[in-house]
Chains A and B, each alone.
Chain A
Amino acid sequence: MTDFIQNCIDGVMIGSSYALLAIGFTIVFGVLRRLNLAYGPSIMLGAFVGTLLYVQFQAQILAVALVTVIGAVLAGMYVERLCFWAIRRGAALASMVSSFAIWMQLEEIAVIILPERTYPFPALTDLAPLEIGPYFLRSEHLTMFVVAVVLVIVVHAVLYRTRFGLAVRAVSENPDAARFMGINIDAVMFWAFAMVSAIGGIAGFLILATDQQVTPYFGLWATFKGLIAMMLGGMGSLPGAILGGLILGIVETQSLWYLGNDYKDLSAYFLLFLILIIRPGGIFGHAMSEREREALRRV
């Protein structure tokens, strides 16, 4: 039982970073109705620039964090302009393919910056783990969790307490109606993208600081972890993204502990497949069936 609870604690801590990635996907998908496959790689590019500073100039951890976030935002803006702004609305598939092509591009740039397979990433803290009764709490995990909670509160406040957030929600609700209300859709998309990239950059930094190493696989990893966590919870729902991230984290740590490394990803994918089949809209997704929605669209 102790093991089980310990795994749950670790899972929630790791899952909080998945939740951040999932929030990034959810907001972009809600606003743009398009999938940004280059999300992970643009975070990775930021992280690689940060790592370069750390490896070459022994930069301070805060500087690395700042560069990672700024790099991720710049890469995200580049992706938005090229794959989403430039391609007319309605061509959702073209945007997805385009973001995939840019993924390849970003990955190659990252490999040119740092050609080796792995590089060290600065650790966030070197404090001893916190002991609570029989349980341990790694200080990196705790930091990750706290930052994630703060970020979720900030994102929620931005979305529900500011004019910008109102515009974002209006655009996700109905782009045409939002345009008639005088909202500049292009600007909303751009800044939503920038915000999401910043969240991704912070999440990426926290994850890498916990692992203390970066590899060129991080882009693929981040894209699909975020995507899976979002789909578990249901697309376009903020609580869904958070729940999906936490569930993914817990399932991974539990199966790693009880079944071994070979089964860690396997059980995560199995759970995802099962949930999608049983509840086609994800856990928090709308229960309305596709057929009804299609019918409503015509009315």
Chain B
Amino acid sequence: MDDYVVSVLSNMGMISFLALSAYLLLLTGEISFGQQAYFAISAYLSAMATAMWGWPLWAGLLLGAAAAAFAASVIGVLTLRLRGLYFSIATLAFAEMVRLLFVIFHYQIEIDGEPVGPDGAEGFRDIRWVFENNISAFEYMVIIFLVLFIVLVLLFRLWRSRLGSIFRMLGEDTLLAEMQGLNVIRFKVLASGIAGFIAGIGGAFYAHFATYLEPQIFNVMLGVHGLVYGLIGGLGTALGPLIGVALDIGFLEAIRAIHGYRMIVFGGLVAVLLIFMPRGILDEERVHWIRMTWRRWRNVAR
């Protein structure tokens, strides 16, 4: 595979974590404009761990994702009383606060006579762990997709588990869930934490892929994109967000021929798609239909 394809695919893999994170919250009925905050927290923290403290990547990744999950749980507790648009805007405000805090965050140490570390708006340069450990771009992409696959499998299991139905129940009707005797607070915070963790994995991968971080990357646009992928792809399965990502990044790369007009074409296509499929491509109904058809086919084959 040539470098260009590898980098596009890696990008798709990393942004998928963000999309899955927003998707999980959508399942519980919350629209978050702020998942990029956890992406950013983990990106910075994991990069600090590998570039400044000499940790291996997996440890940095776990630390970053754990910190992201912790931050997400705290925000989950703080925003418990908020519903609908108020929740969206509170998460947006938090994410922008995180981004702006990274603008004024300076913490550098000397390594080999060179200052290393986040330098406010100047960004965080030389996150070279992948390079120093002789991992090729292709291998790195494979690692990203392996982890993505594991997360997907876990999400599918979650979907079928009792916890999954509790999450969907929260999304459908919080009051009814509460009347069933569910501890709504605990499950909401749990969903928020898991979503933060997933976004954190993507952020850690991103930091070591880009080797350079600056606060501006983690602006609202990133979060809104992550959110929109799930809504375009459909909320019927965890594959929906991935379809959204593939459509956006993959399709945009494919139609490079119309460079300069591609957002006009793509934006229009999405708008028209949503008129006919307001719940995204793979919504619950279509997923059910596919499952039934698949079953019938299998029976016929037998």
Whether A97 touches B220, Cβ cut-off 8 Å, given contacts A102-B267, A269-B97, is no
| A127 contacts chain B at the CB level, 8 A cutoff | no
**B219: nearest residue on chain A (CB-CB)?**
A220
A100 to B221, CA, bound (A): 10
In contact, A280 and B231 (Cβ under 8 angstroms): no
A112 to B263, CA, bound (A): 11
**A261: nearest residue on chain B (CB-CB)?**
B103
In contact, A276 and B89 (Cβ under 8 angstroms): yes
Question: Which residues of chain A are within 8 angstroms of B221 by Cβ–Cβ distance?
Answer: 220
Question: Which residues of chain B are within 8 angstroms of A294 by Cβ–Cβ distance?
Answer: 174-175
A101 to B93, CA, bound (A): 22
Mark each residue of chain B from 7 to 31: 1 if its CB lies under 8 Å from any CB of chain A, else 0: 0000000000000000000000001
Q: What's the A-B contact tally at a CB cutoff of 8 Å?
A: 128
In contact, B267 and A94 (Cβ under 8 angstroms): no
**A291: nearest residue on chain B (CB-CB)?**
B175
Q: Nearest-CB distance from A260 to chain B (Å)?
A: 9
| A273 contacts chain B at the CB level, 8 A cutoff | yes
Mark each residue of chain B from 229 to 271: 1 if its CB lies under 8 Å from any CB of chain A, else 0: 0011000000000000000000000000000111110111011
Whether A280 touches B94, Cβ cut-off 8 Å, given contacts A105-B264, A228-B89, A294-B174, is no
In contact, B81 and A280 (Cβ under 8 angstroms): yes
B67-93 at interface with A (beta carbon < 8 Å): 78-79, 81-83, 85-86, 89-90, 92-93
| B274 contacts chain A at the CB level, 8 A cutoff | yes
A281 to B215, CA, bound (A): 30
| A88 contacts chain B at the CB level, 8 A cutoff | yes
| B148 contacts chain A at the CB level, 8 A cutoff | no
Q: How many residues of B contact A (CB 8 A)?
A: 41
Whether A269 touches B96, Cβ cut-off 8 Å, given contacts A94-B279, A224-B220, A291-B175, is yes
Question: Which residues of chain B are within 8 angstroms of A283 by Cβ–Cβ distance?
Answer: none
Question: Which residues of chain A are within 8 angstroms of B261 by Cβ–Cβ distance?
Answer: 108, 112
A9 to B85, CA, bound (A): 31
**A79: nearest residue on chain B (CB-CB)?**
B271
A95 to B228, CA, bound (A): 11
In contact, B270 and A276 (Cβ under 8 angstroms): no
| A130 contacts chain B at the CB level, 8 A cutoff | no
A109 to B31, CA, bound (A): 28
| A35 contacts chain B at the CB level, 8 A cutoff | yes
In contact, A265 and B100 (Cβ under 8 angstroms): yes
Q: Nearest-CB distance from B161 to chain A (Å)?
A: 25
A294 to B172, CA, bound (A): 12
In-complex Cβ contact of B271 among A29, A35, A101, A263 (8 A): A101
A80 to B174, CA, bound (A): 31
In contact, A276 and B86 (Cβ under 8 angstroms): yes
| A8 contacts chain B at the CB level, 8 A cutoff | no
Q: Nearest-CB distance from B252 to chain A (Å)?
A: 10
Question: Which residues of chain B are within 8 angstroms of A262 by Cβ–Cβ distance?
Answer: 100, 103-104
| A272 contacts chain B at the CB level, 8 A cutoff | yes
| A266 contacts chain B at the CB level, 8 A cutoff | yes
In contact, A97 and B267 (Cβ under 8 angstroms): no
Mark each residue of chain A from 266 to 278: 1 if its CB lies under 8 Å from any CB of chain B, else 0: 1001101100110
In contact, A235 and B85 (Cβ under 8 angstroms): yes
Q: How many residues of A contact B (CB 8 A)?
A: 51
Question: Which residues of chain A are within 8 angstroms of B96 by Cβ–Cβ distance?
Answer: 265, 269
Query: Which of B31, B93, B221, B262 has most chain A Cβ within 10 Å?
Result: B93
| B101 contacts chain A at the CB level, 8 A cutoff | yes
A35 to B175, CA, bound (A): 24
In-complex Cβ contact of B267 among A104, A266, A273 (8 A): A104
Whether A100 touches B228, Cβ cut-off 8 Å, given contacts A91-B278, A266-B101, A277-B90, is yes
| B275 contacts chain A at the CB level, 8 A cutoff | yes
A109 to B266, CA, bound (A): 12
| B152 contacts chain A at the CB level, 8 A cutoff | no
Q: Nearest-CB distance from B47 to chain A (Å)?
A: 22
In contact, A231 and B89 (Cβ under 8 angstroms): yes
| B224 contacts chain A at the CB level, 8 A cutoff | yes
Question: Which residues of chain B are within 8 angstroms of A101 by Cβ–Cβ distance?
Answer: 228, 266-268, 270-271, 274
Question: Which residues of chain B are within 8 angstroms of A143 by Cβ–Cβ distance?
Answer: none
Question: Which residues of chain A are within 8 angstroms of B264 by Cβ–Cβ distance?
Answer: 105, 108-109
Question: Which residues of chain B are within 8 angstroms of A280 by Cβ–Cβ distance?
Answer: 81-83, 86
A201-230 at interface with B (beta carbon < 8 Å): 220, 224, 227-228
**B101: nearest residue on chain A (CB-CB)?**
A266
In contact, A266 and B97 (Cβ under 8 angstroms): yes
**A285: nearest residue on chain B (CB-CB)?**
B86
Question: Which residues of chain A are within 8 angstroms of B228 by Cβ–Cβ distance?
Answer: 97, 100-101
In-complex Cβ contact of B274 among A98, A224, A273, A277 (8 A): A98
Whether A93 touches B267, Cβ cut-off 8 Å, given contacts A235-B85, A272-B89, is no
In contact, A107 and B93 (Cβ under 8 angstroms): no
A58-113 at interface with B (beta carbon < 8 Å): 82-83, 86-88, 91, 93-98, 100-109, 112
Top-10 shortest CB links A-B: A105-B267, A91-B278, A94-B278, A101-B270, A108-B263, A273-B93, A266-B100, A101-B267, A104-B267, A276-B90
A sample of 7 more A-B contacts (CB under 8 A), given A108-B261, A262-B103, A295-B175, is A29-B85, A91-B274, A104-B267, A105-B271, A107-B263, A276-B79, A280-B82
Return 23 A-B CB contacts under 8 Å, by A number.
Answer: A82-B271, A88-B278, A93-B31, A96-B31, A98-B275, A100-B228, A103-B267, A105-B266, A105-B268, A108-B261, A108-B264, A112-B260, A220-B220, A227-B89, A262-B104, A269-B94, A272-B90, A276-B79, A276-B82, A276-B93, A277-B78, A277-B81, A280-B81
